[in-house]
Amino acid sequence: MVGRWRDLGLAVLGLMLLLLVPVFGAPPAIRDFIMFGMAYGLLAMSLNLLIGYTGLVSFGHAMFFAAGAYAFGLAMQSGKFSIPGAFVLAIAFTATMALIVGAICVRLNEIYFAFLTLAFQMLFYNIILGWVSFTGGDQGLMGGIPRPKFLGIDLADRTQLYIFCSIAFIVCIAILRQIVTSPFGYTLRMIRDNQERAAFLGINVPLVKLACFVISACIAGVGGILLTLFVSGAYPNFGFWTTSGEAIFMILLGGSNVFLGPLVGTVILRLLNDITVSYTSHTELVLGIVILVLVLGLRKGPLDLLAERWENRRQAAAQAVRDAADKDAGKGGT
């Protein structure tokens, strides 16, 4: 219970930090950076629930990011929904889609799972591209997303939008944290480490995996909604395979064994992107080389490595203390 209160406190603290940014009148560039970071951060964090905690390597997670974005954008453009209504509708749509894709994919082994999620993502992407009259094809959802006032909140105002996104973001992170520390979260880890054993203990492994898949998709969908609100449009590349690849890379950069690692990875990748863009137009080349160096050189994410080092040192220190204590005890005995 202590951990839970501490997590809640940290969440409130995080929210306050985020809200301090506009109070101190930070330049719009920084605020934009944070808003992009929140949207992509939710994508990476939710994907890590699959990859890091359950061992399901999905290569198609961006389809749910795009599903949330498009469902929300289309609902708002239809003019029949308020923002909360469209929000709920978009999440329901994403959840339904995840339920169908997940039901087909979760029983498969690791490699099949990776490329089938990729294949479904490309199907979704092709539908977005092909159904021009509905989705606007490769132009994306044009004409802006209307943002009518609700409950006195006006999301057309940049500051209010920022506050709204920050709250949604922190709530999602808190939900993820809650899941990871709950018995359900430990079941996920058991499935990752040994799914036969989990099955022997009476756990319905495919069902738990499916539940995890749907939850994770919904949170990615929230990320998509935030991005849609922010850029006032939805574009097919939200659901392109490179977006999924980037999300996986964010997890690698930040580390999959640290809860907030993917978020750190998001910040690193976005910074890396912004820096390379200002020097060269060949960002993909640079990105590819960085990935190869990290994967082949370090064999794991830089932050995972740091966390491991720290853990080793802590254990070595504890061991040293214990050895010293043993020695003292030995002396005392003679």
Partner 1 sequence: MDLDALLRCVGTTSCVVTQLTSGMIIGMLLFLIASGVTLIFGVLNVINFAHGSLYMIGAYAAWTFYQLTGSYFVSALGAAVAVGVLGILFERVLMSKVYGSNVLMQLLVCYAVVLISDDLIKIIWGPVPLSMGMPPEFRLPPIRFMGGVIPPFYLFMILAAMAIGLLLWLVIVRTRFGSIVRAAAINGPMVSALGIRVNLYYAAVFGIGSALAGAAGALAAPVRSLTPGMGFSILIESFIVTVIGGMGSIVGAFVASIIIGLTRSFGSIGFPLFVDGVMFLIMALVLIFKPSGLFGRPHR
Q: DSSP H helical segments within 49-156, as ranges?
A: 62-78, 83-105, 110-130, 132-135
49 scored as a contact of partner 1 (CB under 8 A): no
Residue-wise over 185-197: b if at least 16 C-beta within 10 A, else e?
A: bebbebbbeebee
Report the alpha-carbon distance of residue 43 to residue 96 in Å, rounded: 18
Which among 182-190, 195-203, 238-246, 257-265 is the span making contact with partner 1, rule CB under 8 A?
Answer: 238-246
Sequence-distant (6+) residues with CB within 8 A of 32 are none
Which is closer to partner 1, CB of 77 or CB of 244? 244
- Sign of the alpha-carbon dihedral angle for 207, 5, 13, 260: negative
Q: Phi/psi of residue 60, each to 5°?
A: -130, 25
272 scored as a contact of partner 1 (CB under 8 A): no
Contact call for residues 97 and 159 (beta carbons, < 8 A): no
Query: Which residues, numbered 252-271, are part of the site for partner 1 (CB under 8 A)?
Result: 252
277 scored as a contact of partner 1 (CB under 8 A): no
- Give the residues across from 234 on adjacent strands: 141
Task: Pick from 126, 139, 194, 312 the residue near partner 1 by CB under 8 A.
Answer: 126
Contact call for residues 44 and 254 (beta carbons, < 8 A): yes
Contact call for residues 160 and 168 (beta carbons, < 8 A): no
Tokens representing residue 1 in the block? 């219970």
64 scored as a contact of partner 1 (CB under 8 A): no
Q: Closest distance between partner 1 and the C-beta of residue 295, in Å?
A: 5
10 scored as a contact of partner 1 (CB under 8 A): no
Task: Pick from 30, 142, 285, 306 the residue near partner 1 by CB under 8 A.
Answer: 285
Query: Which residues, numbered 103-122, are part of the site for partner 1 (CB under 8 A)?
Result: 104, 107-112, 114-116, 118-120, 122
Task: Pick from 288, 311, 314, 328 the residue near partner 1 by CB under 8 A.
Answer: 288
Q: Closest distance between partner 1 and the C-beta of residue 203, in Å?
A: 21
249 scored as a contact of partner 1 (CB under 8 A): yes
Which among 17-25, 148-156, 237-245, 307-315 is the span making contact with partner 1, rule CB under 8 A?
Answer: 237-245
66 scored as a contact of partner 1 (CB under 8 A): no
Report the alpha-carbon distance of residue 3 to residue 267 in Å, rounded: 26
Q: How many residues bind partner 1 (CB under 8 A)?
A: 39
Residue/partner pairs of 270-273 with CB below 8 Å, 24 or more apart: 270/33, 270/36, 270/37, 270/40
65 scored as a contact of partner 1 (CB under 8 A): no
Which is closer to partner 1, CB of 127 or CB of 305? 127
175 scored as a contact of partner 1 (CB under 8 A): no
Binding residues for partner 1, per CB under 8 A? 51, 57, 59, 104, 107-112, 114-116, 118-120, 122-123, 126-127, 130-131, 241-242, 245, 248-249, 252, 282, 284-285, 287-289, 291-292, 295-296, 299
